[in-house]
Structure 1
């Protein structure tokens, strides 16, 4: 039923006059080894001269952005740090004393205390004090953002506040002040208007 029938003739398609008859001639040479074929197809994605020039342009752009981050020149800062809203957020965070900016030194002290006094009950109190400090710093960051958001809405309007401004301010608040980039342009207590 499903097998080949012995009485049927093989069907060959009729050749039209426009198509040439097939030739059984081979390619006339052996197939190259894979290694040879891959080596022939290899070429650089970018020309070496172009690569070097683009690397130099990128380095010059990074240097320009780094100098702008040091001096506060917004024209040459990276896009994530540009704009009046971001500047206001930076100035607001830099003018305020934040518990988060002291987190790393405080955590280091408490961890050293915990390891040094690990055989005594004071070690438990050191770890508990560190956890209390972490919770206080998080609450301080949340309160800072609430006050900052009110100021941003009053000054720029709700539609002008870019997405991620909250995290931008909170992450900046948890950095040690000398290591913040862009560098702080205001002193503690010098609130932006």
Structure 2
């Protein structure tokens, strides 16, 4: 019950030497180095956490890198260079969808100009003109829906034939969204002429 500490240490060392070759450090044994003061330990921790460079300098460098990346992206949107395009425009399937849409006339690209004309006609206080504007509005919507459905099916078929093993999720919708933009305002800029095979 009241054994001395020296006897306990002898017993544990004899157990360790007689046991397996693995040696475990005794928690009571000294660790071989002095315990650092709290102030020293805290200062070492702070040095490890704080970055070596100035925070303002790092932010300035980051802004510069972002500016260069944006400039490359703008050039790529104008030239069609795949390397620097945004992620939503990258890939062979999306390039084909852009060329497919750009190579044909689409009713949806004339939606905005037609909408402005119809809006002006509907403002006119003549009942006959207003009814014509309403009829035009319905005809334009129906024609755009029919044209878009045709583009949807043709584009989907072409994508399945040309890119059977590539992921095509969202590519058809991407192409249809492009039809809603006027040709000269599309980004990336059209790389094919109308009537040219993509």
Q: Does 1:162 pair with 2:179?
A: no
Distance 1:174 1:53, change over 3 A: same
Q: What 5-or-longer segments of structure 1 have no aligned partner?
A: 1-45
Q: Distance in 1 between matches of 2:64 and 2:109?
A: 36
2:108 to 88, 100, 124: 100
User: TM-score, normalised on structure 1?
Assistant: 0.71
How many residues end up aligned between the 2 structures?
A: 145
The correspondence of residues 134-149 of structure 1 with structure 2, limited to 5 A, is 134-149=141-156
Alignment match, 1:20: none
1:118 to 125, 128, 147: 125
Measured after TM superposition, the shift of residue 85 of structure 1 is: 0.6
Q: Distance in 2 between matches of 1:64 and 1:118?
A: 51
Alignment match, 1:82: 90
Aligned to 2:115, the other structure's residue is in SS state: helix
Q: Distance in 2 between matches of 1:162 and 1:53?
A: 37
Q: Distance in 2 between matches of 1:47 and 1:132?
A: 60
Q: Distance in 1 between matches of 2:73 and 2:94?
A: 16
Alignment match, 2:15: none
Measured after TM superposition, the shift of residue 161 of structure 1 is: 3.7
Bigger helix share: 2
Measured after TM superposition, the shift of residue 125 of structure 1 is: 1.8
Alignment match, 1:47: 55
Q: Distance in 1 between matches of 2:172 and 2:110?
A: 20
Deviation by residue 1:28-61 (Cα, 9 ceiling, x = unmatched): xxxxxxxxxxxxxxxxxx9222112111111110
2:193 to 162, 187, 190: 187
Q: Distance in 2 between matches of 1:70 and 1:60?
A: 16
Q: Distance in 2 between matches of 1:82 and 1:166?
A: 14
Measured after TM superposition, the shift of residue 121 of structure 1 is: 2.3
Larger Rg: 2
Alignment match, 1:60: 68
Q: CA RMSD in A?
A: 1.4
Q: Which runs of 4+ in 1 moved over 3 A?
A: none
Aligned to 2:127, the other structure's residue is in SS state: coil
